[in-house]
Homo-oligomer: A and B are copies of this chain.
Amino acid sequence: MPTISKEDYIKAIYQLESDPDKSVSTTDVANKLEVSKAATSEMVQRLSEQGFLNYEKYRGMSLTDEGKKTALHVIRRHRIWELFLMDVLGLSWSEVHAEAEILEHSTSDFLIEKLDEYLGHPKVDPHGEPIPDKYGNLPELPDCVSLQLCEVGKNYRLVKVIDSSKELMNYFTEIGLSLNRMVMVVSRLSYDNSTIIQVGNDSFNISEKISSNLFFIEAVK
């Protein structure tokens, strides 16, 4: 069983790998985890020896199947805790991540299955991210599009939010945006590519940058 640090590295590499454009570098991992490149270089070599990733010096890395399985195991724990903290304990969108970040390393398989059962075997976490099952399989989710691609005049349901910062999550909460919330696209300003959406009775202008964090599915209504 990997240590807490190793789990953090493996998870970070998994997440960096999800961008298919480029391979994962020492610097990427070091930045993400806020440790030195030296520490990363060492750890990557250790994880390579232990079979969690393939690694050629100076050439970047990629997780082995074993590494991916481990990453999904950690991610499962993280997302189940997030959902639990929000739905059961009433933590806010901006609070769940930090707590889950700690708990994900201190939870037995036994306990995670109990939590999963309590929650009714959920498929997504509070951000709409899929929760891997206990075998490491990610559930298939319907396609969704970022707000930038939503069409003016149509109704949409919010199904995914990228948690980029606490500030942003608090802002979303403030304006009434929550998972599965219905939204109408009022208009788009070509001036700055921002989108005006209606949430309940209020309208908000969402900048292009923020739009890229919000994902919707069109609602037939």
Which chain A residues have a beta carbon within 8 Å of chain B's beta carbons? 85, 88-91, 95, 98-99, 102-103, 105-108, 110-111, 114-115, 118
Contacts and interface: CB of A to CB of B under 8 A. Distances in A.
Contacts of A105: 106
A111 B92 CA distance: 12
A115 B89 contact: yes
A86 to B, nearest CB: 11
Q: Which 6 A-B pairs have the closest CB atoms?
A: A106-B106, A89-B114, A102-B106, A99-B111, A89-B118, A103-B106
B108 A99 contact: yes
Nearest to A106: B106
A126 B110 CA distance: 19
Contacts of A114: 85, 89-91
A88 B89 CA distance: 11
